[in-house]
Every structure is written in C-alpha cells, then in structure tokens.
A = this chain, B = another copy of it.
Amino acid sequence: MSRARALDDADKLASHRAEFVEAPGVVAYLDGNSLGRPLTTSVARVETFLREEWGGRLIRGWDEGWLDLPLSIGDELGRVALGAAPGQVAIGDSTTVLIYKLVRAAVDARPGRTEIVIDRDNFPTDRYVVEGIAADRGLTIRWADTDAAAGVTPELVADLVGPQTALTLFSSVAYRSGFLADVEAITAVSHAAGALALWDLCHSVGVVPTELDAWGVDLAVGCGYKYLNGGPGAPAFLYVRRELQSEVRQPIQGWLGSATPFEMGQGYTAAAGIRGTLSGTPPIVGMLAMQDMIALLSSVGLEAVRAKSIALTGFAIELCDALLPTAALSSPREATRRGSHVTLDHPRFAEIMPLLWERGVIPDFRRPDGIRLGLSPLSTSFAEVEVGVRAIADVLGER
C-alpha cells in the first residue's frame, strides 16, 4: 500500500478526514455520493441546537434567526459551491419536490412551447417528475438517448431542442456513470432554442466547482445529503437566476413563500425574490449539518476539493485497471469529464455486495451490476480507496 500511503502523505486535505465521525468496523467508506458522513462538529451542533435553541429559545427562535436560514445558508452555498450571487439560492423540501416546483414553473413560463428534453439516463426522480407533469399538461418529452460513456453532450442536446422546447433538464454529473456534462455549453444550446435550462446538481454540488451565474444557468436543484453531508433526508436546495425570479412562479403556494406570512391575510401574493420559492415551514434541524459542511468547504476551497477528487477517482481507475481486469469501467477516463464517483460493472457484483459489507467495505451498488465508488475528498483517503478496490478483487477472486 505504499503508493496509497505516499498519496495520503502528500495530500494537504488529509487531516480533514479526522473531522468526521468514526464508523466502527468500516475500513473503506466509498459511498459519500449517496450519503456523506457527519462532521463531528455537526453532531455536537445539532445536540446543542435541540437543547439550547429549540428547547431553550422555543418559538422565539423563529424571530431570532431560524426564519432566515433557508436563504442565508442558501447564500453561503451559492458563494462557496455554486458561483451564485446572493438572493438566488434557497434551502428546503426534497430534491424531488424542488424539481417539481421548477419544472412546473419553467413550462408555465414558456406558454405555447410543448416539449421538455431530458435524458433516459437521468436519475429516476427527475424523469418521473417530468413524466407526471408532461402527462398532466399535455406536453411531449423528447428523450435524449445518451451513450452512457459519453453522457449528455451539446451536440446531442442540439439535435433535440427546437422552437417547441420549453425546458431542458439534465444532471451536471450523471448519477450512474459519473459523466460530467458541459453545463455552460449545453445551457447555451438550450438558450439558442429559446428554452430554459434546469440542472440537477445532486452529484456535483460540493465537489465540482460550478459557476451558475457565469454559465447563464436558469434554474438548478441539488441534494443536501451527498457531498454536503447534511444527513439522511436532509433538505435540498434550488437556484433561480435573479432575472427570472419575477417570471418563474412555483405552483406550491404556501404561507412562507407569501409576501406577508404573518399577516395571515386573504389572497396569496408571492414574496419577491427567491423567498417566493418557499412553501411550508422550513426544516431547520435538517439544515444544520449542511451548514457546517458548507463552512468547511469554504475554508478549504472548492478548487482544492476538486483537485483531490480528480486524484482519488484517477487512483481508483488505476487500481481497477490493475486489480479488476474483468470489470468494465463505466465512467469517463478523462478527468475533466468525470465527477467524483467511478462506476464499474461486472455480472457478479450484485452477489458480492454482502461480502464486502461483512469486511467493512461499503461501496454503492446500482442495478443491474454496477459498483459505484463515491469518493468524498474531505473524508476519503487514498488508502481507503486501495483497501476497497483490493477487497472487491479479493472477494471476486475467492468466489
């Protein structure tokens, strides 16, 4: 394991690994892209919040800062990880609910246009939400049949968009292959057709530098529990470009998205700006751990995180080439087109998953036969990657 040790020794981010809660018996956690690990500070923070803020301040907490958290954490996330100026990001709901809000808002903002473009390899919830809205509103889905190895490309999108396209919806990093799309170029293709571009950032936020403002992205959503380490079922986030905020109206009109929530008045008027995207009472406890991770990302810098991510995934591929010659790499070899996970396919991967868990090696599994190594730069070591890949090779070899 000298190569991994050398990489860890040279890794300037290595010390951050100790900031995460230890998992007894786990020798390689390679699923940070499904559920990031908790920071030790988050455990203490949440405990203190429950006792002192919820328990001690009680209802006064809403006046003393809780009500601002969806937008203040959103602004921080925008600054640290999204390239978004303040007032364009809000935390809340689930990714699914936020995709629903923004797809509905987008198609309503492009009346007369009858098509939504999305890829077959997009995450199921994205596709399912779009299918439901398309059926409800009589819209047509134009499916991009991506080559999993190539992912979503500007050329593919250009072939599908046209004067009938209301919206395109793709993932910046494909959940299965890890393919990293050219968000800026594809957004430009969507705009050239007069369509809005909605991006699912679930598998890129917190690990791939993103410049939503500079790239001209219209709308985005993402997940709080992967590389933002918010905990199981943590709230999601959305981005609505400032210029679109008066035009794009989400359909779930709730009191906390209204202009005057505590007036309790007759008739809904949406709050100006990003606050109008809120619906119900914000899920405060679920935001706290995410806020801690955003602060850590801010201190480390996303460029350094990305550099380690590339090194980790590159090292994983190198090891897989050497140790798992019978598995097929389903992720891009080119670092600039790769997110922070690496997927391998092998017909026997499904059967070995329980054996890996027994050894404390925890990758992700994706049907039908993919093992996904999700490498979270601040909590994953190179040694852990090597332990994991060697374990997969050993278990495959033993059977």
Binding site for B on A (CB under 8 A): 20-24, 26, 29, 31, 34-35, 37-38, 42-43, 46-47, 50-51, 54-62, 66, 93-97, 100, 120, 123-125, 127-129, 131-133, 136, 176, 223, 225, 231-236, 251-256, 258, 261-268, 279-286, 289, 357, 362, 364, 366-367
Contact = CB atoms under 8 A, between A and B. Distances in A.
Contacts of A234: 283, 285
Nearest to A229: B54
Nearest to A281: B233
21 contacts: A20-B55, A21-B50, A23-B56, A23-B57, A23-B58, A35-B58, A46-B47, A54-B232, A60-B362, A94-B281, A97-B254, A125-B254, A128-B254, A128-B268, A232-B285, A233-B283, A233-B286, A234-B285, A285-B285, A285-B286, A286-B286
Given A127-B266, A233-B282, A234-B285, 17 more contacts: A23-B58, A34-B59, A38-B50, A38-B54, A43-B51, A50-B231, A94-B279, A95-B280, A96-B252, A96-B279, A132-B251, A132-B268, A231-B284, A232-B284, A232-B285, A233-B283, A235-B283
Nearest to A130: B253
- 6 shortest interchain CB distances as A-B pairs: A94-B280, A21-B55, A96-B280, A96-B254, A128-B268, A132-B253
Given A94-B280, A132-B252, A43 B38 contact: no
B127 A268 contact: yes
Nearest to A38: B55
B231 A263 contact: no
Contacts of A357: 60
Contact of A281 (B43, B61, B225, B266): B225
Contacts of A289: 50
A262 B24 CA distance: 27
Contacts of A20: 55
A256 B95 CA distance: 11
A54 B21 CA distance: 9
B61 A232 contact: yes
Contacts of A362: 58-60
Nearest to A25: B56
A285 B43 CA distance: 12
A17 to B, nearest CB: 13
Most B CB contacts (10 A, CB to CB) among A54, A129, A131 go to: A54
A146 B376 CA distance: 56
Contact of A255 (B47, B96, B132, B255): B96
Most B CB contacts (10 A, CB to CB) among A56, A265, A289 go to: A56
A129 B96 contact: no
A96 B46 CA distance: 25
Most B CB contacts (10 A, CB to CB) among A22, A61, A100, A253 go to: A253
Contacts of A366: 264
Contacts of A62: 35, 232
Most B CB contacts (10 A, CB to CB) among A59, A60, A362 go to: A59
A283 B283 contact: yes
A159 to B, nearest CB: 20
A368 to B, nearest CB: 9
A315 B258 CA distance: 36
A296 to B, nearest CB: 16
Contacts of A256: 96, 125
Contacts of A279: 94, 96-97, 100, 125
A38 B57 CA distance: 11
Contacts of A133: 251
Given A58-B23, A357-B60, A367-B264, A254 B129 contact: yes
